Amino acid sequence: MSYEHPNSQGKGIREVEREIMARPTEHSTTNLNLDRMRAILDLMGHPENSFRMVHITGTNGKGSTARMTEAIARAYGLRTGLYTSPHLERINERIAIDGRELSDDEFVDVYEQVQPLVRIVDAESVRKGEPAMSFFEVLTAMSVWAFADAPVDLAVVEVGMGGQWDATNALDADVAVIGPVDMDHMQWLGDTVEQIATEKAGIIKSGSTVIVGPQPHGEAVLPIIEETARRRAAAGVLRDGEELQVLGRQPAVGGQIASLRTPNGTYEDVPIDKFGVHQAHNALAALAAAEVAMPVSGALDADLLAEALSQVKVPGRIEQVRNSPTIIIDGGHNVNAAQSLRAAIEENYSFEQVVGVVAMMHDKQVEEYLGVLEPLLSQIVVTENSWRERVMPARELESIAKRVFGPDRVIRRDLLPDAIQTAVNMVDEQDELGVGYGHGVLICGSFVTAGDARALLKERVDPDLKKPKSERA
């Protein structure tokens, strides 16, 4: 077993990204342990001990909760680090300091500083007949290095997958947030909700405060979380619906307004810049996590909280990217995500027609996911995204979609750009006024699909238009 380590000196961001992403995936790493991460942290001198940390897991809502938690802490003047996954368009998205992702040069610089230590760990792993560091382990090590070098006061870290054996679990957090636990990644986490809950409860550490989001399978999941917290001597458990509550909420322009309660007090009319009841519960978890993690006693300042949550943007999560027609992108890929997506659209939009553009991975609960969205979608255009190794072939997705929607509502386009254009043409044909109202396109099924669509639909300015008229061709 060997791994080639090219010299990255003088390389640009795309070359570095290719080097990192060419490493073994978490899924192909045969040893489910934290040995490689602990080894590189040892070599670094454990820089993770220099900052406080909020660790976030759950089947859905991790990214939104992470961004909200970071925004609250930053509004209070703390220097923050944010580590999220996956990225939609650029690998830099995964690591941010003070709300700003690392620039290309900064990202390359961090990689080059960490790379010699990665080589040492790889060499030892290969000597023992074990895999080299995975791409996610390298990125996690880079985030820790960048946060300590900044230095940050608080790091908000999103689990990649699961919890117990995730690379991020080599870090000890002050707060462990466990969002909704449902069926996903079963081939790695287990095929029952109890097994998946056990994996996710693995992020609970001695002395940490556990924040538990709303649980769709509460009777099965809550006892596992509570027992793990007791066994590991957690500082306490705060549960959505018990110690934490969403007291009320109502839709508003661009999002919603909610009233939230924690043990520290009640926060009335908090603006949240995202659609859906699930985002109100994500905001509640973020608020509770920030209360514990920040050096602030009692309730938080209402104005600072409003400032933070009213400005949080979560790319690829029920994100409206175009008007006339309305085009919405969502990266959720499991049943729980589909339920939240459908509920949010039904609550906040008055569509007469919604055409879905769907590309999914072959290892997902595809038929169940489509079944949740079937009442929402007028027609569906099935296609493929750019991850050729994992994407479900369009022809296979078409067969499943026809069982769910019936053959008359399903169209296949093998290329995503063609699928999007087909969907837009379909809604334009029905839009008699030509203003886009009541007609929409929903692009969904995978974060890769969302990222591909964002890149395709990004507004671009013709460079010639920036020139003085005398210089234009």
Q: What is the pLDDT of residues 260-289, one digit of tens each?
A: 999 999 999 999 999 999 999 999 999 999
Question: 175 lies in which domain range?
Answer: 13-309
**20 & 83 share domain:** yes
**94 & 23 share domain:** yes
* pLDDT given for residue 182 in this prediction: 87
Share of residues in the chain with pLDDT > 90 (%): 80
**425 & 291 share domain:** no
**365 & 272 share domain:** no
Confidence of residue 324 (pLDDT cuts 50, 70, 90): confident
Least confident of 2-11, 26-35, 383-392, 434-443: 2-11
Q: Quick one: average pLDDT of 290-307?
A: 94
* pLDDT given for residue 437 in this prediction: 74
Confidence of residue 1 (pLDDT cuts 50, 70, 90): very low
Last residue of a domain, one of 257, 288, 309: 309
Asked whether the predicted pLDDT for residue 435 surpasses 70, the reply is no
Residue 341 lies in a domain: yes
Residue 465 lies in a domain: no
Q: Quick one: average pLDDT of 50-70?
A: 96
**350 & 382 share domain:** yes
Q: Which residues of 131-140 are buried (b: 16+ CB within 10 A; e: fewer)?
A: bbbbbbbbbb
Q: How many CB atoms lie within 10 A of CB 334?
A: 18
CA gap 109, 107 in Å, rounded:
5
Last residue of a domain, one of 309, 339, 359: 309
CB 17 within 8 A of CB 135: no
CA gap 148, 332 in Å, rounded:
32
Average pLDDT score over the chain: 91
* pLDDT given for residue 8 in this prediction: 42
Number of domains in the chain: 2
Question: Which residue type sits at 140?
Answer: T
Chain center to CA of 90? 14
Task: For 393-417, write each residue's pLDDT tens digit.
Answer: 999 999 999 999 999 999 999 999 9
**283 & 354 share domain:** no
Least confident of 1-10, 247-256, 300-309: 1-10
Asked whether the predicted pLDDT for residue 11 surpasses 90, the reply is no
* pLDDT given for residue 389 in this prediction: 86
**276 & 331 share domain:** no
**327 & 371 share domain:** yes
Asked whether the predicted pLDDT for residue 244 surpasses 50, the reply is yes
* pLDDT given for residue 468 in this prediction: 55
Residue 463 lies in a domain: no
Confidence of residue 31 (pLDDT cuts 50, 70, 90): low
CA gap 340, 455 in Å, rounded:
24
Asked whether the predicted pLDDT for residue 37 surpasses 90, the reply is yes
Domain harbouring 420, CATH code: 3.90.190.20
* pLDDT given for residue 186 in this prediction: 56
pTM of the model: 0.90
**226 & 356 share domain:** no
The residue among 378, 370, 459, 382 whose CA lies nearest residue 416 is 382
Asked whether the predicted pLDDT for residue 110 surpasses 70, the reply is yes
**301 & 339 share domain:** no
Confidence of residue 26 (pLDDT cuts 50, 70, 90): confident
**262 & 333 share domain:** no
Cα 287–293–299 angle (5° rounding)? 50
Asked whether the predicted pLDDT for residue 457 surpasses 80, the reply is yes
CA gap 463, 294 in Å, rounded:
45
* pLDDT given for residue 397 in this prediction: 98
**281 & 323 share domain:** no
